[in-house]
Structure formats: structure tokens, C-alpha cells
Amino acid sequence: MRQATAAVPPPPLQPTPAIACAPDTPVETLWAIARNHPELRRWIVANPNADADLLEYISQQGGPHVRRSLDILLASLA
């Protein structure tokens, strides 16, 4: 009789700018990236799934080039 083996879990997510701004990245993942990878916050600003709460968090926390990214986003909405 053959024993069932557990499937190997996928490797942990390696956050990148592409993941941070990809429209199919879940909001929960964006929050995790925003909390743990300040260098990627500017890329989250460009993500259409980033809601107002997440953008406010990013604005308050700051990070490299966050202010400029938010300025560009706000200018595009005007």
C-alpha cells in the first residue's frame, strides 16, 4: 500500500516592486509588504488595489520616495 505524502508548501513570498504594484496582488499581501518592506511602499502607491486605509498608512509611515509617489498619484487624480 502506498502512503500519501504531504505536498511541499510553496516557497515564501519574496516581495519585489513587480509584486507590490501588480493589480492581482491581494490587499492582505500589500499590507504585509507595507509593514515589513518600507523600500517597496512607493510601488504599492501605484497599485490600483491599494485602498485609502493602506495609502494613509504608507503616507504616515513614509519610506524611500513615498512622498513623491503620493504626489504623482494625487496629481493624476486632479
Q: Does the residue 56 lie in any domain? A: yes
Assigned domain for 1 exists: no
Per-residue confidence (pLDDT) for residue 12, from 0 to 100:
77
pLDDT tens for 19-72 read: 999 999 999 999 999 999 999 999 999 999 999 999 999 999 999 999 999 999
Answer whether residue 4 shows pLDDT above 70. no
pTM of the model: 0.82
Alpha carbon distances (Å) from 59 to 4, 20, 30, 46, 51: 49, 16, 14, 13, 12
Count: domains in the chain:
1
Q: By CB neighbour count within 10 A (0-12 exposed, 13-18 middle, 19+ buried), where does 55 fall?
A: buried
d(CA 1, CA 6): 16
Question: Domain range holding 24?
Answer: 17-77
Angle (nearest 5°) at CA 29 between 57 and 63: 40
